[in-house]
Amino acid sequence: MVVDFREAMKKEMRRRKYSDRTIKTYLYCVDKFFSKTKKTIDKISKTDVREYLTNIAEKKTGNTTNVNLNALKFLFEDILGKRMKLDIKYSKVPEKLPVVLTKQEVKRLFDAINNEKHKLMIQLMYSAGLRVSELINLKVEDLKINEGYGYVRQGKGNKDRLFIIAESLKEELKKFIAKKKISEYNYLFISNRERKYSVRSLQQIIKKAGRKAGIVKNISCHTLRHSFATHLIENGSSLNEVQSLLGHKSPETTLTYLHNTSCSMINIKSPLDSL
């Protein structure tokens, strides 16, 4: 290779605070591209990139095509400064409505969890619309329980955002923190092995509770976030409010939830308080 493009990419992505997952994905996409084209960087043309992406689009999903396109654009335009101006339109990703639980199903899910800590984790995740990665990274210092809000630190896109704390969870959270004697600088939830929870552990809790509750939908931790957004809109919250609470960059992303809702305007509050 003419340059050590992998190191250059890693350095620039870290400077821009890309997530470790994005860095790993981009490097994988670029490595695969070069293994297929069998050319060095200085020999690559727009035609090579276009043909490669066209081949992917014929076999893979739109998301896969877009990720590969973004990775290659990042390398050639942002790292190498080549004005390739790839005129390849993003593949259309088939629209698919998110799986959403009804309010009754959410209540049944909670009732199916006997472990008090696990139930509190799942309730907090739903009541605030948190991603599972955001939940397991919460620290006590991020919570302003009396004021009814908290902060997600360095969430998706490495951005901080505010989330609401349900009135019905305030005392439970206070008692939990006091009982566990958790320092304000420590993680709010840790496993019995004194370690931070893994995403997989939370997914297993959700799956097990879903089966026990007799919920036939294919649910995951993210289903609670989808349900949170849908129930907020059903309760009358505006799209702008929901977009802000979810941390969506684009309002178009939030619009997805309108397909499952009927709105009547009321003041914003956590959907947990209306169960």
**Which residue in 46, 103, 117, 222 is the catalytic one?**
222
161 is annotated as an active-site residue: no
**Which residue in 52, 126, 197, 257 is the catalytic one?**
257
**Which residue in 50, 82, 117, 156 is the catalytic one?**
156
15 is annotated as an active-site residue: no
108 is annotated as an active-site residue: no
103 is annotated as an active-site residue: no
Helix (H, G, I), strand (E, B) or coil at 264: coil
50 is annotated as an active-site residue: no
**Which residue in 118, 161, 231, 248 is the catalytic one?**
248
DSSP summary character for residue 158: S
Q: Name the nearest CA neighbour of 92 among 114, 69, 125.
A: 69
Query: Residue-wise over 198-237: b if at least 16 C-beta within 10 A, else e?
Result: eeeebeebbeebbeebebeeebbbebbbbbbbbbbbbbeb
| Calpha distance 7→5 (Å, rounded) | 6
257 is annotated as an active-site residue: yes
Contact 126, 106 (CB under 8 A): yes
Chain centre distance of CA 56: 25
**Which residue in 118, 119, 225, 226 is the catalytic one?**
225
| Calpha distance 211→207 (Å, rounded) | 6
Distance between first and last Cα of the chain: 60
**Which residue in 131, 161, 226, 231 is the catalytic one?**
131
Residues tagged active-site: 131, 156, 222, 225, 248, 257
